[in-house]
Amino acid sequence: MSSKRPINSAINSGQSGGLGSGHLFGDPDDEPPWEETIAPGAVLLRRHASAQAEALLAAARQVVAAAPLRHLVTPGGKTMSVAMTNCGDWGWVSDRRGYRYDPIDPDSGRPWPPMPDIFREVARNAADRAGYPDFAPQACLMNLYRPGTRLTLHQDRDELDLAAPIVSVSLGLPAIFLFGGLQRGDRTRRFPLQHGDVAVWGGPSRLAFHGIAPLAEGHHPATGSVRVNLTFRKTR
């Protein structure tokens, strides 16, 4: 189930020249953190991981070295455009048989790499701020987006403990996050997610439909031409 494309070196340092993101009007990555509640239980902690972003990306590269990114196949037989891997005690996997959390990487037959301490710390700190003390994630799913990659509207319901929130961290290129309601047909609102943004999805928003619009081309100094998203979950 490996990719034909060289995605495992895809999280570039981004420092290979080019025009950068343009600093004429102030760099959005340099703003101090602030918080936005977009729905009951859904809190955007804007730029809350900016100071840890380089450490998170260094740890992400270590995870990818041990458990390479791959394009999973859905139960319906479609190959996902997002490249994924996991770390922690459980990893989210999909194949023709269904979606599940598995302690073993099916590509290697070995356990997923351990969750780096910096991952745990950022996730726990964000959950604390959103009112979920002592969040102890068992799984971290890493999603890698290149230009054109999208994630269609879905619910996250493969976790047995739906009382625990999901924490997500956005790194690198910005994306348009689509946030709907509890029914697939509910209208969706669009929110930009930028480098360093952390979100906590709990309470009534835990089962909201959500997705990511096709990623636009761009260059980010921390990642080059990609976006990385980390989601932290309590799976059971």
**Token reading at 76:** 């319906």
DSSP reduced 3-state for 119:
helix
Asked if 159 touches Fe ion (CB under 5 A), the answer is no
Distance CA 86, CA 111 (A): 10
Contact 153, 188 (CB under 8 A): yes
Piece in contact with Fe ion (CB under 5 A), picked from 68-76, 90-98, 138-146, 155-163: 155-163
Contact 195, 167 (CB under 8 A): no
Nearest distance from residue 188's CB to ligand MD3, in Å?
A: 11
Asked if 143 touches ligand MD3 (CB under 6 A), the answer is yes
**Binding track, positions 99-138, relative to Fe ion; x by CB under 5 A:** ----------------------------------------
The residue whose Cβ lies closest to ligand MD3 is 229
Amino acid at 57: L
Asked if 156 touches Fe ion (CB under 5 A), the answer is yes
In sequence order, the β-bridge partners of residue 90 are 139
Piece in contact with ligand MD3 (CB under 6 A), picked from 8-16, 22-30, 116-124, 208-216: 208-216
Distance CA 121, CA 114 (A): 14
Nearest distance from residue 151's CB to ligand MD3, in Å?
A: 5
Asked if 201 touches ligand MD3 (CB under 6 A), the answer is yes
In sequence order, the β-bridge partners of residue 85 are 142
Nearest distance from residue 75's CB to ligand MD3, in Å?
A: 16
- Please name the residues in contact with 212: beta carbons below 8 A apart, sequence gap of 6 or more: 145, 149, 150, 151, 175, 176, 177, 178, 229
Asked if 142 touches ligand MD3 (CB under 6 A), the answer is no
Nearest distance from residue 34's CB to ligand MD3, in Å?
A: 18
**Cα separations in angstroms, 186 against 181, 192, 213, 225:** 5, 19, 17, 32
143: partner contacted, choices Fe ion, ligand MD3, none (Cβ within 5-8 A by kind): ligand MD3
Binding site for Fe ion (CB under 5 A): 156
Binding site for ligand MD3 (CB under 6 A): 141, 143, 151, 156, 166, 168, 199, 201, 205-206, 208, 210, 212, 229, 231
